[in-house]
Amino acid sequence: MYHGIDFSGAARPGDDIWLASARPTGDGLRLDACQSASERFDTTGREAVLDALRAWLADVEGVAGLDVSFGLPRVLVPADASESWRAFLRWFAATFADADGKSMQAALKQRARASDADGIELKRLTDGPTGASSPYSFITRYQTLHGIRDVLAPLVLDGQVSVEPMAPSEGPTLCEIYPAATLGGLGLPDEQYKGNKHDGERARREQIVAGLREWGVAMDDALAARLVDESGGDALDAVVGTVAVARAVEDDFAVEEERYDPLEGYIYA
């Protein structure tokens, strides 16, 4: 099974985190389910949702792609936490144990100012080429904090999951995805299709669903309608995540070396 998770660090992320599950077929994928976290786990608060998501990921069958940064720019990580990605996770979880998104962002900006880097909202090697934001931008700061500290670090440091390409091991496999990059790679609209902020959003979602079906994602009409109706785009992004996972698996989780630093993480698109 291939799973796509559109992640959120919101205070009540039950309706913002979406999970899609698809089975590989001879000519693509068959979408089995797409649900919000509140539907899947019957809860809405951040701690309860993330606890449930973590438990689900520890037992999930197959490969799950999460739309959240798996790391930080190398220059922001102290030398004694730069030996491996696992060492980074330990440092991050300890350093930001009591932080919120804003205080984490402020601390990382201060580290950037103290470095030789150009700018204060730095990107990883994998972010620029895929169009992703800095992991601690205004948009991503809460996602990154809760994704790394509350989901990835406990799962990886307890040996419950495998993470490609930084920490392959036994257990369910996780990888980082970025749906906008996948949409762009498929030649489909990768902006102005969600959020109730732009004219023509629904038409773009319809175009994306049609494009996914043409690529090889089979789905019931009721599921297709739900992806179009969910104006936040979270459901659609979760489904696009299953395509990113399928492409990563097909390529044996190969990386483009010029945009991969094993400390920072890697986006599979």
> How far apart are the C-alpha atoms of 128 and 180, rounded to whole Å?
13
What separation in angstroms does the CA of 98 have from each of 22, 104, 134?
A: 36, 9, 22
Place of tokens 């920072």: 264
The predicted model gives 72-85 an average pLDDT of 98
What is the pLDDT, as a whole number, of residue 240?
99
Q: What is the pTM of this model?
A: 0.96
- DSSP letter (8 states) at residue 258: G
The predicted model gives 148-160 an average pLDDT of 98
3-state helix, strand, coil in the chain (%, to 5): 45, 15, 40
CA 246 to chain centre: 15
The predicted model gives 68-97 an average pLDDT of 98
What is the pLDDT, as a whole number, of residue 205?
98
Percent over 70 (pLDDT), the chain: 100
What separation in angstroms does the CA of 174 have from each of 42, 165, 168, 236, 254?
A: 23, 9, 9, 19, 14
The predicted model gives 21-29 an average pLDDT of 96
Query: Where does the pLDDT of residue 84 fall: very low under 50, low under 70, confident under 90, or very high at 90 and above?
Result: very high
Residue 251 neighbours by CB distance under 10 Å: 10
The half-sphere exposure of 268 on its side-chain side, counting CA atoms within 13 A, is 28
The full set of domains in the chain, from first to last, is 2-67+142-268 (3.30.420)
The predicted model gives 112-125 an average pLDDT of 96
Q: Which residues are bridge partners to 175 per DSSP?
A: 65
- pLDDT tens track for 162-206: 999 999 998 899 999 999 999 999 999 999 999 889 899 999 999
User: Average model confidence (pLDDT) for the chain?
Assistant: 97
Query: Where does the pLDDT of residue 38 fall: very low under 50, low under 70, confident under 90, or very high at 90 and above?
Result: very high
Query: Where does the pLDDT of residue 100 fall: very low under 50, low under 70, confident under 90, or very high at 90 and above?
Result: very high
What is the pLDDT, as a whole number, of residue 103?
98
What is the pLDDT, as a whole number, of residue 124?
99
What is the pLDDT, as a whole number, of residue 174?
99
